[in-house]
A = this chain, B = another copy of it.
Amino acid sequence: MVGSVGNGLADLGAGAVSMNGVGKALHPAEAAAAAETLPMELEPPEALVAAAVEAEAEAKREEAANGRREIVMGRNVHTSCFAVKEPDADDEETGEREATMASVLALYRRSLVERTKHHLGYPYNLDFDYGALSQLQHFSINNLGDPFIESNYGVHSRQFEVGVLDWFARLWELEKDEYWGYITNCGTEGNLHGILVGREVFPDGILYASRESHYSVFKAARMYRMDCVKVDTLMSGEIDCADFQRKLLQNRDKPAIINVNIGTTVKGAVDDLDLVIKTLEENGFKDRFYIHCDGALFGLMIPFVKKAPQVTFKKPIGSVSVSGHKFVGCPMPCGVQITRLEHINALSSNVEYLASRDATIMGSRNGHAPIFLWYTLNRKGYRGFQKEVQKCLRNAHYLKDRLKEAGVGAMLNELSSTVVFERPKDEEFVRRWQLACEGNIAHVVVMPSVNIDKLDYFLNELVEKRATWYQDGISQPPCIARDVGVENCLCGLHK
């Protein structure tokens, strides 16, 4: 019966090729026939994990080879998959299917442990313990539609959701009866929502966003058929308000919808919200603009950074979004979206045309996410987050300093825990540490789950490997002056 769970143990054991599942039979009869020709002995778990890692590496090499790593669409490459197969007729008696599935899951779990341990490049806080919530996993919890409009479906968690929204509204200084919001599926949904609200407020508005904005902002422009103007950035990654002014003046007749980054994806740069507002008001856009703040990661950190310019609804902003799986930490992606109730009211004036029961992007919504967030917010509170933010900033400085001491060019923005540095030469090393790269630079995002020990482990490995990469004296570390400025580059020319 081994082999009846597609790409289960036996298939995994056969290595990368059979993991592809290409041409794998799905019909039970075919599966049975295939089982006879497959190697029957099971390789030890280590080999299986190694095979999975190798399959992944192969996919990466292939991608690197076609040179379109950054933007690639329209593919259907089955590099590795656990195919679904029809149960055999006697599965219920033998229990073998259950056992095989359990083995696949146990192996998968093992690889997750390994991958979680070597994780530095993405802004996800992997340090959470939601054991107390596992009792809720077997309920189908769904907050359909609007958090403030009860549905007849009783298995929801709106009471947790609204508690979480209140907490964020208070954080960003919007009165309880003046906000509207909901818990989203991710940061992208927040951006999609904020920009849509902006467009509904100013239907002929032009969307402005810096070049280093998250790609979901440009995706929104295309989805919503909005004119979009890309604004240049400073070396730090912040929006260049001189260029912003130039572009505003080229479009004086149209209102402005602006995406302001509270921490860009690559450099963790915080756009100067006050300067953006000043630029708008001084160039004839007073009362003719809508600002959406994309606070994906840093929206929840900046309130706890001393002397940082604050994101607050006391300033003329329209909406703020933040991810829940980033700084808070959550098993699945989620986010929080807060906007002014008056904007949502404006939408609802045209409700018959909208023909929608609610003002969210999604209909059915994950009811578990609000409970995860509620749990962590209650446990940590403002004070807890403040401590964690301080720790992250401290550790980020440590990493940057140690990198520079070791001769590695690096940059850390003042308000950020994202350390940008020269891209490691070896792709294997990049994958191992799951570093996000762009051109010549890579970054580590120092999250609460990243402590000094983990950074030392990484630093030591980097320094050791780097010595071998450049030992021939011919290869040289890449110049990153164009990305992070001459003062932060330590290449042959600039050191």
Contact = CB atoms under 8 A, between A and B. Distances in A.
A243 interface: no
Contact of A375 (B87, B101, B158): B101
Interface stretch (A254-262, A355-363, A397-405): A355-363
A74 B142 contact: no
B364 A186 contact: yes
A76 B150 contact: no
A133 B138 CA distance: 10
B359 A159 contact: no
B434 A74 contact: no
9 contacts: A72-B146, A72-B149, A82-B374, A83-B167, A106-B135, A108-B157, A124-B140, A124-B155, A185-B364
A3 B464 CA distance: 54
Given A21-B162, A81-B159, 15 more contacts: A26-B170, A63-B149, A73-B344, A73-B348, A76-B177, A83-B167, A106-B135, A109-B135, A122-B142, A122-B153, A140-B332, A192-B361, A222-B353, A222-B354, A333-B365
Interface string A456-468: 0000000000000
Given A87-B378, A180-B76, A223 B224 contact: yes
Contact of A218 (B7, B82, B129, B355): B355
A284 B304 CA distance: 63
A188 B141 contact: no
Interface string A145-186: 010111011110111101110110010000011111000011
A71 B356 contact: yes
Interface in A104-131: 105-106, 108-109, 112, 115-116, 118-119, 121-122, 124-126, 128-131
Counting every copy of the chain, the complex holds 2
A80 to B, nearest CB: 5
A137 B136 contact: no
Interface residues of A, number: 151
Given A21-B166, A325-B142, A377-B84, A332 B71 contact: no
B21 A140 contact: no
A476 interface: no
A425 interface: no
Interface stretch (A271-279, A309-317, A381-389, A478-486): A381-389
Nearest to A189: B362
Given A74-B347, A132-B101, A381-B86, A437 B162 contact: no
Contact of A159 (B82, B128, B159): B82
Contacts of A83: 163, 166-167
A93 interface: no
Contacts of A224: 223-225
A121 to B, nearest CB: 6
Interface string A62-92: 0100000011111111111111111100000
A81 B142 CA distance: 16
Interface in A429-477: 430-431, 434-437
Given A351-B71, A357-B70, A363-B188, A87 B163 contact: no
A413 interface: no
B222 A116 contact: no
B140 A331 contact: yes
A275 to B, nearest CB: 25
A358 B73 CA distance: 6
A84 B164 contact: yes
A196 interface: yes
A134 interface: yes
Given A73-B344, A115-B154, A215 B101 contact: no
B215 A356 contact: yes
Contacts of A491: none
Nearest to A156: B115
